Amino acid sequence: MKKLNLTLRIWRQRNANSPGKFETYQVRDISPEMSFLEMLDVLNEELTKKGEEPIEFDNDCREGICGMCSLVINGIPHGKLHRTATCQLHMRHFKDGETITIEPFRAKAFPVIKDLVVDRSAFDRIIAKGGYISVNTGSAPDANAIPVPKEAADAAMDAAECIGCGACVAACPNASASLFVAAKVSQYTFLPQGQPERKRRVLRMVEQMDREGFGNCSNHGECEAVCPKGISIMNIARMRREYIKASFS
């Protein structure tokens, strides 16, 4: 298969307080079977050999599970492929000679740490406000002790697929975190284990989301379109219902 020669326009920024800019790099003989992150690895190896500073970008499992690979590729979080994380995007989906623009997620609540790395600890603080359940101490109960209808279990698992990458925030014109928070609220709402804190959970998580500086949802649907796990915006409607009910009870 023919190797690729590409031009990369990459956002470089020393830290959150420094101005950033796009810098242009050339990469040659890139295998179409490489993942996007492997292509960046090749570039960083070349920069290191030249004595230049490599490009910082987030990555961990590289299996589409951890949610670390937060890049905006040609204006789209995670790139143009539907339901695909950056680490699962392969270079065969690009053309020889193509120019690719790579930048970090853009949101007030996601300040740039360096280059393509942003601080997404706001998500951690939201989770800490409500991502827990009450359990009795002691031995683990039998798995079948609490029957869960299959429809409820499926809906909870669909919501729990959210990997917390933040693509929904980066794509939203309001930089809203509603899809992320709604997924985390929903995954507990359907299960009996999530009922004790149900009202408290949604109130605390939504309040923390607002406190972090995320924008409001205005139903553009961009969040669902770029989500690598296809989390439905129906979860946002569910979160709103849960919040209203909790507010008046």
DSSP 125-164: HHHHHH------SSSPPPTTSS---HHHHHHHHHHHT---
Per the document, the length of the chain is 249
pLDDT at 96 over 70: yes
* CATH of the domain spanning 120-134+147-247: 1.10.1060.10
Residue 88 near residue 165 (C-beta atoms within 8 A): no
pLDDT at 145 over 90: no
Burial class (CB in 10 A: 0-12, 13-18, 19+), 56: middle
**Mean of the pLDDT values across residues 109-127?**
97
pLDDT tens figures, 16-45:
899 999 999 999 999 999 999 999 999 999
- Taking the CA atoms of residue 227, residue 231, residue 237 and residue 239 in that order, the dihedral angle to the nearest 10 degrees is -100
* Joined tokens for residue 178: 């509603």
In this prediction, residue 168 carries a pLDDT of 98
How far apart are alpha carbons 192 and 201 in whole angstroms? Answer: 14
Q: Are strands 4-12 and 112-114 parallel, antiparallel or unpaired?
A: unpaired
pLDDT tens figures, 182-191:
999 999 999 8
pLDDT at 111 over 70: yes
Q: Which residues pair with 90 in a beta bridge?
A: 35
How far apart are alpha carbons 205 and 128 in whole angstroms? Answer: 8
Q: Report if pTM > 0.75.
A: yes
* CATH of the domain spanning 4-103: 3.10.20.30
pLDDT at 136 over 90: no
pLDDT at 230 over 80: yes
In this prediction, residue 77 carries a pLDDT of 98
What DSSP character marks residue 207? H
In which region does residue 243 sit, left (phi positive, over 0), alpha (psi from -120 to 50) or beta (all else)?
alpha
Handedness of CA 134, 206, 128, 172 (dihedral sign): positive
Q: Per-domain residue ranges for the chain?
A: 4-103, 120-134+147-247
**Mean of the pLDDT values across residues 150-173?**
96
Per the prediction, the chain carries an average pLDDT of 94
Q: What percentage of residues in the chain have a pLDDT greater than 70?
A: 95
Residue 99 near residue 9 (C-beta atoms within 8 A): yes
